[in-house]
Amino acid sequence: MAHIFFDHISTTPLDPRVFEEMKPYFLEWYGNPSSHIHDQGQAALKAVDAARTRVAGLIHARPQEIVFTSGATEANNLAIKGAAEAYEKRGRHIVVSEVEHFSVMNALLPLRNRGYEVTPLKVDSDGKADPEDVRRAIRPDTILVSVMHANSEIGTIEPVAEIGRIAREREVLFHTDATASAGHIPLDVEAAGADLVTLSAHNFYGPKGVGALYVREGVRLASQIDGGFQERGFRAGTENVPGIAGMGAAAAIAKEEMAPWAGKLRRLGKRLWDGIGATVSHLHFTGHPVDRLPGHVSFWVEYAEGESLLLFLNVHGVMAASGSACSSNLRGRDEEDLVASPVLRAIGVPSDICTGSITFSLGKGNTEEEVDSVLRVLPVIAKRLWEMSPTYLDYQKQKVQGGG
Amino acid sequence: MAHIFFDHISTTPLDPRVFEEMKPYFLEWYGNPSSHIHDQGQAALKAVDAARTRVAGLIHARPQEIVFTSGATEANNLAIKGAAEAYEKRGRHIVVSEVEHFSVMNALLPLRNRGYEVTPLKVDSDGKADPEDVRRAIRPDTILVSVMHANSEIGTIEPVAEIGRIAREREVLFHTDATASAGHIPLDVEAAGADLVTLSAHNFYGPKGVGALYVREGVRLASQIDGGFQERGFRAGTENVPGIAGMGAAAAIAKEEMAPWAGKLRRLGKRLWDGIGATVSHLHFTGHPVDRLPGHVSFWVEYAEGESLLLFLNVHGVMAASGSACSSNLRGRDEEDLVASPVLRAIGVPSDICTGSITFSLGKGNTEEEVDSVLRVLPVIAKRLWEMSPTYLDYQKQKVQGGG
Amino acid sequence: MAGPYSAKVMDHFMNPRNVGEIENADGVGEVGNPACGDMMRLYVKVEEGRISDAKFRTFGCGAAIASSSMLTEMIKGKTVDEARAITNRHVADALDGLPPVKIHCSVMAEEAVKAALDDYARKHPG
Amino acid sequence: MAGPYSAKVMDHFMNPRNVGEIENADGVGEVGNPACGDMMRLYVKVEEGRISDAKFRTFGCGAAIASSSMLTEMIKGKTVDEARAITNRHVADALDGLPPVKIHCSVMAEEAVKAALDDYARKHPG
Ligand SMILES: Cc1ncc(COP(=O)(O)O)c(C=O)c1O
Ligand SMILES: Cc1ncc(COP(=O)(O)O)c(C=O)c1O
């Protein structure tokens, strides 16, 4: 059967070259970097330092500005809670876009409980925040602005450079979550005016279990995982050496090959976008049509529910994600998870029909043939679900009545 | 040159069988468990669930009581901060032994700053806590007792079953950090009366970057890394699937082979202990002589400094750790790190001579020949350092004067 | 790869039984709400106190569609009282189980049959 | 594998120059404290205002031993004033650098030579 992976936004396959660079640190050089007095530890420490330089290179930072974490979620928690606690004396007000990932939104909850105030930034119907809104939202007690680089669900790229400039003018820290974008589109911490940047290895063909937070020299953070003195005191715990080496390798490869990857993904993405638009009715694209992640095609289909779409796609060997929380609610907290995603609500999609949202996110290994396969099966699947749906039936009856 | 790794307490080599079980989750089944609606995600979710069952099996727990983390440090932080915050209304008093790892001790700092009180438990000269001290330390507002299962620096095994029983009688949560012991000596969460247990994969031939916290059914914890709904809400972030699969494999192997490993390590450890005692003068063993980790031999040598001992050992291909902070102070905060370790101070080693402490921690791959090699080089190294040392010179002069 | 669902669920999801409408149904029950991700409409034909036919249309996830399909199979041929006695547990068990967070889909099926039979009772008093 | 130190440091650590005592030294300087992990005792012989011999004993880490050894090499043949001008930076540079947290070992060497020359000055006033 076909095995068409169009869910790169959830995770990417490890690049085999990255795996090769990780391998020596499993069986041969397994040392703990803190035990660098001996050869095993020294080899591990060198691997971590080399990876730090490579990750820094991806975003034009300096090696000592990279703090390795267990992933993007931890990096976002460290950025938000760490900055809030470190700059508490200066103020307790934070500005965030309303389309941030749960790992930013939920990191704010314990802070709110402790009296911090959060101003959410609205986005337009393409999912973009307005830098002028950031200017208006900043108060004398604002300590942090957090706006993501690109949205994973709808693909929209945010105007981070303008937001960073405004934050800097007002002497407020600027954090950007680049989980979905890093390694895929260029990101320069200077150009973005960013003080804190979240990166995730498994989103750019690196391993799971490792991420990084860029921390601009001079920026303070309260560490969130306390213990030994690793990562210059920002993050305790024995380093995930093979994982970090893998993140370094993935960063080096991405830096080198990002441009051709993006070129290919834009071509494939356009083919998919145009094809879907032409063949599936009752379909609405989401996110910005131009300022979006390469190879990212997101939309919702009326009268069809997301999980059912995904299940049928999977039966045809096509793996994708649903923007609605529904697709992951098999382990959700409770039935409330069944509602439409906050991002779709933020861009104004009516909540009674947007449970049918789909995100196709292509990767460097995908092909035109795979796109064409998806273009063949999607209309069939949509039709099948419509024919089962009471809402579609009502719509058709109304149309007949309206016409008659 | 020889490559004699006697530093298993810092980390262990990955078991090649564990690596084989991790491999499929790098290149072939790279899915995100949250995307379990499709085959890739489903394979990942199954791997995580299978590993959960295996890790639970190692400590006689139920699968749903295992929360995967990025390692022992994070697990200790989650246990201490998570329990403190969740049970804040009941009280703000915590009891810990004074020989806990930094990841317990330093996790208490932000809590102290918020008004929590901590009662340290003294240990005797072998490093053992007294359960009766725990009984005396518990107050009406005590919410948590934390005493490690075994100490990594001096090898002593603590009387956790007695402590657990007392904590349970008094309806106080009991956390034990089993980083150094899990996979090496039996641990049954029922027998230990433990509500929270910290585990670390890379300490029992599993991969770095993954650990677990056992959370007894019904125990509440405030999550410390917030975001998506992974690990039943205790810990957000995309799972480190290959790492978790590796931890599961390592747990299954350890459960099976722990007894023969321990038998071998006790033999090798005795050979090393007896040999060192017979050949190196001015040597003092640390930790309990009997209730200690198999293959763990720790001591300090008068008139010799730890880092120099380690450097010379490494020149001879022997890799070990120093109990003094000195060995890792190349990246320490400042010169204060040069002082003797808190554990050695706690067991009463005079701080002006204990910088020469050494921990040899053997693993399942070590041999008698390796032990004998170390027994040959250690006396030579000690002598060499003494001959360079002004304190040894003074000692000898005094001896001559005393004798004359 | 089995996916999150049992083989039985997947079979009923991919080959749902009794999809459609019944013209002049004796009872129609509608439960759920598309805004919450699922909605089911159940049609029953009742002859001599027995459900002689049942059809459904459902908007929803795999479990919702499979529960609807299974329900129609279960109620056909049953008396009204027997059908009323069907619980969500019966539906879930007949599907070889549902993931815990999908139990509400079987609840929806239970509610749908009750709603349809209430409608039948209203239309056929006495 | 190079270890945490430069090849120069490792050479001076493993083959330290001028270990020992000078009987009837013209100056002896002792700095550091074993409780802090390192202690150095430096002996100098001064002839016609020049350091004609230097020996040391050091308790301490690799950097402490290497700094001591390098220091004795550097001061031999120097005038007292030239030796006094030696800074920790000179010692560290001569060793091809030290890790940042080990800089204090070169500071100890600088202090040892000053202490030894102070002792010399006390014993040889005028
Ligand atoms: C924008 C964004 N930030 C953060 C995360 C969290 O990443 P992880 O689950 O790898 O920690 C995600 C995951 O999908 C994301 O899309
Ligand atoms: C007893 C104990 N607990 C916790 C830790 C922390 O482990 P990690 O650095 O792998 O997070 C260690 C590490 O040496 C330890 O010895």
Residue pLDDT, tens place only, C3-20: 789 999 999 999 999 999
pLDDT above 70 coverage of chain B, percent: 94
B223 and B283 in one domain? no
Banded pLDDT at B357 (limits 50, 70, 90) = confident
- Cβ atoms of A119 and A95 within 8 Å: the answer is yes
- Cβ atoms of A121 and A280 within 8 Å: the answer is no
Q: Is the ipTM of this complex over 0.85?
A: yes
H/E stretch holding B118 reads: strand B117-121
**Start-end of H helices in A142-240:** 160-169
User: What integer pLDDT is reported at residue A328 of this predicted model?
Assistant: 44
pLDDT in tens, D34-93: 777 889 999 999 999 999 999 999 999 999 999 999 999 999 999 999 999 999 999 999
B279 and B246 in one domain? no
Banded pLDDT at A401 (limits 50, 70, 90) = confident
Distances (CA, A) of A4 to A274, A319, B18, D54: 19, 6, 29, 75
Work out the minimum CA distance from B390 to partner chain A, whole angstroms: 24
D touches C, CB cut-off 8 Å, minimum 3 pairs = no
pLDDT in tens, A118-149: 999 999 999 999 999 999 999 999 999 999 99
Q: What angle do helix axes C62-75 and C103-123 make, rounded to 10 degrees?
A: 40
A314 touches chain C (CB under 8 A): yes
- Compute the distance from residue B286 Cα to the ligand 1 centre, in Å: 46
Of these ranges, A79-83, B299-303, B395-399, the one predicted with the greatest mean pLDDT is: A79-83
pLDDT in tens, B366-383: 999 999 999 999 999 999
Whether the full predicted model's pTM is greater than 0.80, yes or no, is: yes
Chains with ≥3 CB–CB distances under 8 Å to A:
B, C, D
Atom of ligand 1 nearest to the CA of B238: 9
Domain boundary among A224, A255, A286: A255
- Residue C105 annotated as catalytic: yes
Q: Please judge whether C4 and B36 are an interchain contact, meaning their C-beta atoms are less than 8 angstroms apart.
A: yes
pLDDT in tens, C29-69: 999 987 778 899 999 999 999 999 999 999 999 999 999 99
Atom of ligand 2 nearest to the CA of B100: 1
Banded pLDDT at B403 (limits 50, 70, 90) = low
**Start-end of H helices in chain C:** 7-14, 62-75, 80-84, 88-94, 103-123
B287 and B197 in one domain? no
Banded pLDDT at A330 (limits 50, 70, 90) = very low
- Cβ atoms of C31 and C115 within 8 Å: the answer is yes
Q: What's the burial of C24, exposed, middle or buried (CB within 10 Å: 0-12/13-18/19+)?
A: exposed
The nearest alpha carbon in chain C to B42 belongs to C3
Domain that holds residue B292: 4-8+260-401
What is the SS3 assignment for A229?
coil
Number of domains in chain B: 2
The nearest alpha carbon in chain C to B43 belongs to C1
B268 and B237 in one domain? no
B180 and B47 in one domain? yes
A282 and A209 in one domain? no
Contacts of B84 (CB under 8 A, 6+ apart): B92, B94, B111, B116, B143, B144
- Give me the mean pLDDT over the C70-77 stretch: 97
- Compute the distance from residue B353 Cα to the ligand 2 centre, in Å: 25
- Residue D61 annotated as catalytic: no
A144 and A40 in one domain? yes
Domain boundary among B255, B283, B317: B255
A355 and A368 in one domain? yes
Q: Is the CB of B238 under 6 A from ligand 1?
A: yes
Q: What ligand is nearest to the CA atom of residue A225?
A: 2
User: What integer pLDDT is reported at residue C2 of this predicted model?
Assistant: 54
User: Which residue in the block uniquely carries the two structure tokens 């974490």?
Assistant: A69
User: What integer pLDDT is reported at residue D33 of this predicted model?
Assistant: 84
pLDDT in tens, B305-315: 989 999 999 99
Give the span between the Cα atoms of B346 and A300, in whole angstroms. Answer: 64
Full DSSP string of A244-278: HHHHHHHHHHHHHHHHHHHHHHHHHHHHHHHHHHH
Q: What is the total residue count of chain A?
A: 404
Angle A124-A127-A130 from CA coordinates, rounded to 5°: 55
Q: List, chain by chain if needed, residues with CB within 6 Å of any ligand 2 atom.
A: A 228, 237-238; B 71-73, 76, 101, 103, 148, 152, 177, 179-180, 200
Domain boundary among A211, A237, A255: A255
User: What integer pLDDT is reported at residue A145 of this predicted model?
Assistant: 98
Q: Please, what sign has the CA dihedral across residues C65, C69, C74, C75? A: positive
The nearest alpha carbon in chain D to B349 belongs to D35
Give the span between the Cα atoms of A117 and B251, in whole angstroms. Answer: 45
CATH of the domain at B341: 3.90.1150.10
B393 touches chain D (CB under 8 A): yes
User: What integer pLDDT is reported at residue B331 of this predicted model?
Assistant: 39
Q: Please, what sign has the CA dihedral across residues B63, B69, B73, B78? A: negative
Amino acid at B211: G
Full DSSP string of A334-382: SGGGGSPPHHHHHTT--TTTGGGEEEEE--TT--HHHHHHHHHHHHHHH
A289 and A160 in one domain? no
User: What integer pLDDT is reported at residue D2 of this predicted model?
Assistant: 54
